[in-house]
Amino acid sequence: MATTNNYKKVVIFSAPSGSGKTTIVHHLLAKFPQLQFSISATTRPCRGQEVHGKDYHFLTVEEFHKKVNGGEFIEWEEVYTGRYYGTLKSELDRIWDAGGTVIFDVDVKGGVNIKKLLGNNALAIFVMPPSVEELRKRLESRQTDSTEDIEARVKLAEQEMTYSKYFDRIVVNNKLNDAIKEAEQLVEDWLKE
C-alpha cells in the first residue's frame, strides 16, 4: 500500500442506511468514468440482487477477523452486533494501479476513519436524510429488512447523524434529483482541483 504522502484522491460518501447514498454513488460512477467503486467487505448476509465481489466482498466472521489480524484493512468497524464492515487495502491499490479515483460508499464511522487517514486527499460527503421518520419510511419501503432490523437501523441512524460535523460537506437528500445534482457539483469541483 502507498505511504501516506503518496495517497491519491478519494471521495467518501457516508450516511445512515436508507439515506440514498448508494443511489447517489451509482449515479456518480456513471457520470464520472475516472471514479472507481471501492468494494467494501462485510459479514452481513447478501440482500436482494447483490453480488459477491461487485456490491460487497461477503465474508464470514472468521474470514473477516483473519483479514483484520493480517493487517489487510485500512479501516473496519463492527457496525451492528456481529456485523462487520471494512475497506480492504487491496481495493485502493486495485483502483489506483488502474489510474482511477476511489469512491467510497461506507458507514459513517468508516467514513470518518478514512478521512482522518487520508486528510486533504479525501473529500468526505455526508448524505443526510430529511428526518428520522422519513428515513424509517424509506427503509420500510425497501422491504429488504425485518422490523427488528429497521428499528436497529433507525436507532443507529440517530447516532450516526451526529457524526456529520466530521465531514467536509453535507448533502440533505430531501429530493433525490436535487441531492444528486449537489453531489455531482461537489465531486466535479473536487476532481478539478
- pLDDT reported for residue 104: 93
The predicted model gives 109-136 an average pLDDT of: 91
- Asked if 146 contacts 39 with a C-beta cutoff of 8 angstroms, the reply is no
Domain count of the fold of the chain: 1
Q: What mean pLDDT value characterizes the chain?
A: 89
**What is the span of the domain harbouring residue 27?**
10-192
Sign of CA dihedral 136, 55, 107, 20: negative
Residue 50 counted as domain residue: yes
Residue 5 counted as domain residue: no
Instruction: State the DSSP code for 53.
Output: T
Residue 116 has pLDDT above 80, yes or no: yes
Residue 2 counted as domain residue: no
Residue 4 counted as domain residue: no
Residue 65 counted as domain residue: yes
The b-or-e profile of 121-141 (16+ CB within 10 A means b, else e) is bbbbbbbbbeeeeebbebbee
Residue 188 counted as domain residue: yes
Residue 3 counted as domain residue: no
138, three cell numbers: 424509506
- List the CATH number of the domain containing 16: 3.40.50.300
The predicted model gives 52-81 an average pLDDT of: 93
Residue 160 counted as domain residue: yes
Coil, helix or strand at residue 71: coil
Residue 141 has pLDDT above 50, yes or no: yes
Residue 38 has pLDDT above 70, yes or no: yes
